[in-house]
Amino acid sequence: MIQLTLKDGTVMEREVGVTGLEVAESISSGLARVALACEVDGIPKSLMLPVEHDCTISILTWEDQAGKDALRHTASHVLAQAVKRLYPDAKLAIGPSIKDGFYYDIDCDHVFVPEDLEQLEAEMKKIVKENLKLTQFDLPREEALRFMEEHNEPYKVELIQDLPKDAVISFYQQGEFVDLCAGPHVPATGKIKALKLTSCTGAYWRGDSNRKMLQRIYGTAFLKKADLEEYLTRMEEAKKRDHRKLGRELDLFALMDEGPGFPFFFPKGMILRNQLEAFWREVHAKWGYEEIRTPLILNEELWHRSGHWDHYKENMYFTQIDGEGYAIKPMNCPGGMLAYKRKPWSYRDLPRRMAELGQVHRHELSGALHGLFRVRSFTQDDAHIFMTPEQIPGEIAGVIELIDSIYKVFGFKYHVELSTCPDDFIGSEEMRCLSEGALRQVMEDRGMDYIVNPGDGAFYGPKIDFHLEDSIGRTWQCGTIQLDFQMPERFDLTYIGSDGEKHRPVMIHRVAFGSIERFIGILIEHYAGAFPSWLAPVQVTVLPITDRTADYADQVAETLTQAGFRVETDHRNEKIGYKIREAQMQKVPYMIVLGDKEAAAGTLAIRSRSGGDLGLMTTEEFVEKLKLEVEQKA
């Protein structure tokens, strides 16, 4: 007999070899119906696998992310089976579940087009209807190699060859289809109630641009058709909001072939960017930060000292100056260390809060580049706080409040995750426990809900990550607070304590926007390009109806410009309806329509982007209205 501890602490005794499904059935028939997988000692497993030792066990349903992953991983196998049925000569690579879906990488002479995806999807639905059971079996490594060679699957052979010689290799079978896989999967293909293939792109085998380009077919799967329809509607809305498309239409920025991954910002994009940076400076001055700027290129020795050389050099760019090695900075931290070290400090001087809008460069694979979301050059809104150990809780709490105040301005909700130290953490076990415990304690003292993300911290310490939710429900990781005992040690940073002796400061690395470029991309999609008045590159468009009101239009535009607003006047010889539509397409917050009556009365006919006709106002009334909106960042 073995003892199984359930999520609520209940302990049950069962025969060795009991399955997760049998455990679910013993709890309730309702749970067994909705069960998708199980978790044994924290590791997701298929429901049909035997449990052979004392353990904790949880039954996973659609409410659990691991349950969703199991269903979507099974859907990727259904896709692969459909591909093999329709294109028997196709070679299979890998097919994991991903956020909101799955994909499978395929080597096939036939180039898949949208019509092919429709046929594959139809075949997948047949496989689902067949309700094929998924069964798992193991083979020793050499047998597994022969098995995949007999099936003419060279990519699977390569994967097995990378495993240890004494490894036991796991396979899953459904009907005539067998795939190399560690699982977990749902018990049968019939569990997939709703699926959709969404796109096909290219992907290098193993992400290596020197290897063959495969075809990657993306899809998604749900338990309910209604959930699938809601997801597809959201994806259609996301396409309309695509920041790359809107960036071109609104003339904000572009990525060009002459500089892949290096964004060009145009005048309107620079206005948006400058407004964000001005807001950032305003907030940081209020919270007691000093702004610094550190060099773009620094000596190679510095990056050895900081530890980035050992942990990050594959993502760095290098150059030679006067016969010595230099690196273009991928992070601002080492420069911040040198800024602190420029002079001695007393405990009375701490905390020192040094903020920097620092441009960094990181080498990203060309296939990973994506608009402003993944670039090779970007500006981090970094800050480094140097403090005594006693100041840690107060400074972490202060950063949380600062970041919260920034996100509220944009209307973002968010959740937080505690990312604990990774395996390559460069500090001691004592430092790991102390730093992780400090972050936990501050969040718990503030009553914050948080998710633990094991091992996803930086090599020098744990972090709190802020995940924003945009207007259509997508999440974006932006803000970060990292607690670091290691960099001050590596750079021999000190302060003079109240005892007259030298002590080591503790530091916080933190960002609020994360990357200015990426945050702009998020804002474009969050607002669908319709920025609030304070951010909008053009706040007002003046639209004279005829040439007779052109001079009055220029007077109004000049008055608004002198009041500090960003104004354009449309003097084109076009009908007023056309001009209004054009201004709406450019997402301008306010349009002022001026005809003979307005010119004679000295009034303005105001239209808003969202509210339509707002009626007549005097110039002074409109200036006060817009000024209040901008000041309040409404």
> Phi, psi (5° rounding) for residue 570?
-100, 95
Contact 468, 478 (CB under 8 A): yes
- CA-nearest of 499, 495, 494, 504 to 346 is 495
Reading the block at residue 53, the tokens are 């030792």
Residue 1 CB-density burial (10 A; 0-12 exposed, 13-18 middle, 19+ buried): exposed
Lay out the sheet containing 567-569: strands in order across: 567-569, 540-544, 590-594, 603-608, 612-618
Which residue has tokens 């796109």?
Answer: 199
* Max CA distance (Å), the chain: 95
Strand partners, 137: 171
Which residue has tokens 């993306």?
Answer: 218
Q: Which helix (H) or strand (E) holds 414?
A: strand 413-419
DSSP state of 316: -
| Sign of the four-CA dihedral 469, 475, 478, 480 | positive
Residue count (the chain): 634
Q: Which helix (H) or strand (E) holds 299?
A: strand 297-299
What is the C-alpha separation between 550 and 555, in angstroms, rounded?
A: 9
What is the C-alpha separation between 221 and 308, in angstroms, rounded?
A: 40
What is the C-alpha separation between 103 and 600, in angstroms, rounded?
A: 65
Listed in sequence order, the DSSP H helices in 141-208 are 141-150, 154-161
What is the C-alpha separation between 504 and 374, in angstroms, rounded?
A: 36
Q: Which residues are catalytic?
A: 333, 362, 380, 382, 384, 463, 509
Residue 486 CB-density burial (10 A; 0-12 exposed, 13-18 middle, 19+ buried): buried
Residue 242, helix vs strand vs coil: coil
CA distances from 585 to 251, 271, 472 (A): 12, 18, 20
What is the C-alpha separation between 361 and 365, in angstroms, rounded?
A: 13
Preceding amide of 351 cis, omega within 30: yes
Which residue has tokens 């999807």?
Answer: 121
CA distances from 198 to 102, 115, 186, 231 (A): 10, 12, 22, 11
Preceding amide of 389 cis, omega within 30: no
